[in-house]
Amino acid sequence: MKTITLGKTGPVVSTIGLGCMGMSGMYGPADRAESIATLHAALDAGITLLDTGDFYGMGHNEMLIAEALKERRREDVLLSVKFGALRGPDGIWSGYDCRPAAIRNFLAYSLQRLGTDHIDIYRPSRLDPAVPIEETIGALADLVKAGYIRHIGLSEVGSETIRRAAAVHPIVDLQIEYSLISRGIEDDILPTCRALGIAITAYGVLSRGLISGHWQKGATTGGDFRTLSPRFQDGNVDRNLALVEALRRVAEEKGATVAQLAIAWVAAQGADILPLVGARRRDRLAEALGAQQVVLTEADLAAIEAAVPKDAAAGERYPAAALAHMDSEKRA
């Protein structure tokens, strides 16, 4: 497994990270034993970056990770944790809270659930519109000084917020959706991060399974994020799966799978872009890891671009209500 330094000031991390969200119900029921086995397989393969959020299964995801890490050395793992999203006992999302007092509270609970005394990269999951980003980052900077967190990251924010945050404290990475069919960061956000030495940890590189090559129309179950996602809705899903078939033809010529090509494409966009894969089964993880052996030439990149042109996806990447909360989607 290759490694990179995350951003100008960040830790050394494996060039692929494991996102653990799907192990806590976001994509329908997950198998607990298989989730833990997948976490172990990822660590054994050299993945050092595990991403979670305190709101993934309302603490379930952090406790699952803690269980998986019981027999492992804490220093071999980098924990990236998001905070700030508010949910009710019914799981319903009800906004964000990134006030300094709330952050200290979220962190205390996360440390306890994760069974650790520090978090490696801690980040607000979204901008809280009621709290200036300087206040949020200032509070995080105090927690760095106190040793509870090592680095500060951001998630789904736009250029202005990124610049304001970086003026308060070094930011190591921006976690944001980036894939062959979600290329919104290319014009403005990516250049801003590059100018400031902030890495991108790209999520949704398989567009939540849609461009994995395994997705079949109608495969969602109740409670699965994908039942609400515009790209999975009737009409849109057929157009998006047609793009996948075009990609499959390129993948077959390359001797790779569709998922491997999609992951390799993200990795090929720059050494400062690290794909977070959302595998929750060992077979999916093994496939994703195979992307490291897929070296894309200029001709391959052109063939991929021809199969899936920029902006070819049908449907937005989130439902309208979620997009409205996203600073990264604000248009000037």
Ligand X SMILES: NC(=O)c1ccc[n+]([C@@H]2O[C@H](COP(=O)([O-])OP(=O)(O)OC[C@H]3O[C@@H](n4cnc5c(N)ncnc54)[C@H](OP(=O)(O)O)[C@@H]3O)[C@@H](O)[C@H]2O)c1
Cβ at position 290, least distance to ligand X in Å = 8
Q: Is 122 a catalytic residue?
A: no
Region from 129-137, 141-149, 271-279, 311-319 binding ligand X, contact rule CB under 6 A: 271-279
Region from 92-100, 144-152, 209-217, 305-313 binding ligand X, contact rule CB under 6 A: 209-217
Report the alpha-carbon distance of residue 233 to residue 287 in Å, rounded. 26
Residues 71-110 binding ligand X (CB under 6 A) are 82
Does 27 bind ligand X (CB under 6 A)? Our answer is yes
DSSP state of 123: E
Cβ at position 299, least distance to ligand X in Å = 24
Residues 35-74 binding ligand X (CB under 6 A) are 51
Region from 37-45, 68-76, 283-291, 304-312 binding ligand X, contact rule CB under 6 A: 283-291
Does 278 bind ligand X (CB under 6 A)? Our answer is yes
Q: Is 56 left (phi over 0), alpha (psi -120 to 50) or beta?
A: beta
Does 183 bind ligand X (CB under 6 A)? Our answer is no
Report the alpha-carbon distance of residue 81 to residue 123 in Å, rounded. 6
The DSSP secondary structure of 22-43, one letter per residue, reads GGGTBTB---HHHHHHHHHHHH
In sequence order, the β-bridge partners of residue 274 are 201
Cβ at position 277, least distance to ligand X in Å = 5
Q: Which of 7, 84, 124, 209 binds ligand X (CB under 6 A)?
A: 209
Query: Using an 8 Å Cβ cutoff, are 32 and 26 in contact?
Result: no
Tokens 């999203």 identify what position? 85
Does the CA dihedral 41-42-48-51 come out positive or negative? negative
Closest CA to 54 of 73, 80, 74: 80
At position 117, the amino acid (one-letter code) is: D
Does the CA dihedral 177-179-182-186 come out positive or negative? positive
Does 280 bind ligand X (CB under 6 A)? Our answer is yes
**Tokens describing residue 37:** 């086995």
Residues 127-156 binding ligand X (CB under 6 A) are 155-156
Q: How many residues bind ligand X (CB under 6 A)?
A: 30
Does 206 bind ligand X (CB under 6 A)? Our answer is yes
Cβ at position 204, least distance to ligand X in Å = 4
Catalytic positions are: 56
Contact residues for ligand X, defined by CB under 6 A = 19-22, 27, 51, 82, 125, 155-156, 175, 203-209, 212, 214, 259, 276-281, 284, 287-288
